[in-house]
Structure 1
Amino acid sequence: MCKKGKLNLIIVDDHPMILEGLKSLLNIQQYQVFLFTKGKAALDFIQENKIDIVLLDIVLNDGNGLDFCRTIKQSSPDTIVIAVSNQAERSIIFQFLENGGNGYILKNADANEIVCCIENAVNGEVALSKEVKEIMLKPNVNNYVLPRLTKREQQILRYISEGSTSVEIAEGLFISVITVETHRRNLLQKFKAKNMIELVKIATENKLI
């Protein structure tokens, strides 16, 4: 299924427009590109084909990109896995790299930067976009810094504070329960909270809800 002579590259993102946008940036002479909106489908494809590069979103409808990265690297250590995400939290970036990731690119990076990062990864470097490097170089001070939340995370945080279950949140926002659970895990990680009670407490104290 994969053609010889090109690097086989997978893009995994649950937004079709982003899939097509990233694909349009890549040199079709250099890459054979495959698009997936589901992480598990991409994993199955990797099991059956030699894949050189995976561009992976962190928040997916059927799971967490952090977990998918670890699974890919366990089954295919030579595959280059690069996050392409809106998640700009220092802890998430470091965890992705600890899980075996070869790079991390924020989606607000320009086209040239994205292409250069992918090429750097192919050449054996850790591929980090400019803003990611700045985030990683900031001193890790003890003072608590409020994380940046996406609009969806703010919505889910509000539901959590009202005591809604994952099923109720999913129905209210017209998304899957798995997506809600992924956001819950990301929120716990962002706030460094041990459980939902502590998460709501921190958010309330900082007037986020």
Structure 2
Amino acid sequence: MVLAEDSVILRDGMVELLEARGCRVVATAGTATELLAEVSRHRPDVAVVDVRMPPTHTDEGIRAAVEIRATVPGVGVLVFSQHIENAWASRLLAGGATGVGYLLKERVARTSEFMDALRRVAGGGTALDPEVVDRLVNGERGGRVETLTPREREVLALMAQGRSNRSIAERLVVSERAVEKHVAAVFTKFGLAATQEDNRRVKAVLAYLSETGG
């Protein structure tokens, strides 16, 4: 794995902790530029990334995470930060809710929780802090998954795996047009307005994960 953290003390402590638990840290980075270079060089299973990194300490880290998702397929990305950046978090998940995680440092109570999340993301799974989910779906709750038909729920579950409409159609042995209708029904039942298609898919998946414990 590659670890990006601008605090030297925290970075060194995390390397020691991770390696003590069997993780191989192939490189560390103190800036987003270094992170991108190390990921390109090593092609790790997963990159752990802080949101705010030099030089401005605003959103350099998560911007780099989005770039990794777009340009280095197969590398899992686990954002580990004190901050939630809604717009960039949505972009991070727009490529599909697989091999991606977003955890808040102050809410990870045990090392085992972090290690479980890290392994899930490295293996192509998802690890999202419930508070991040709440923020990205505007704090709306209320069992919306229960309003879906069995077929709509199947479609949504496959969306949560990052599948396209065509892939879902092949998996369910139905037409792509039928899948489009089911996706549209999910958007309607979840109250997701017709804005950007990718953003609505992300929010639908986040709502699904928040209500199913995925």
Q: Distance in 2 between matches of 1:106 and 1:49?
A: 26
How far 1:95 sits from its partner (Å)? 3.3
CA distance 1:113–1:131, change in 2 (3 Å)? farther
Structure 1: state its 5+ residue gaps: 1-8, 141-209
Structure 2: state its 5+ residue gaps: 142-214
Q: Distance in 1 between matches of 2:77 and 2:32?
A: 13
Count of aligned residue pairs for this structure pair: 132
- Residue among 101, 104, 107 paired with 2:102: 104
Q: How does 1:189-208 map to 2 (within 5 A)?
A: none
Q: Distance in 1 between matches of 2:129 and 2:113?
A: 7
Name the SS of the counterpart of 1:60 in structure 2: coil
2:51 paired residue number: 58
Would the aligned equivalents of 2:69 and 2:92 in 1 still touch at CA under 8 Å? no
- Residue among 26, 32, 47 paired with 1:39: 32
CA distance 1:135–1:22, change in 2 (3 Å)? farther
109-118 or 19-28, which deviates more = 19-28
Q: What RMSD, in angstroms, separates the aligned Cα atoms of the two structures? A: 2.6
Measured against aligned partners, the alpha-carbon deviations of 1:117-162 in whole angstroms (never above 9, x if no partner) come to: 111212321112354345456218xxxxxxxxxxxxxxxxxxxxxx
Q: Distance in 1 between matches of 2:130 and 2:17?
A: 18
- Residue among 20, 25, 38 paired with 2:17: 25
Q: Is the counterpart of residue 71 in structure 1 residue 63 in structure 2?
A: no
More strand by share: 1
Measured against aligned partners, the alpha-carbon deviations of 1:29-82 in whole angstroms (never above 9, x if no partner) come to: 632212211111121222222221100111110461232112212331111111
CA distance 1:98–1:22, change in 2 (3 Å)? farther
* Normalised TM-score (structure 1): 0.54
Would the aligned equivalents of 1:43 and 1:72 in 2 still touch at CA under 8 Å? yes
More helix by share: 2
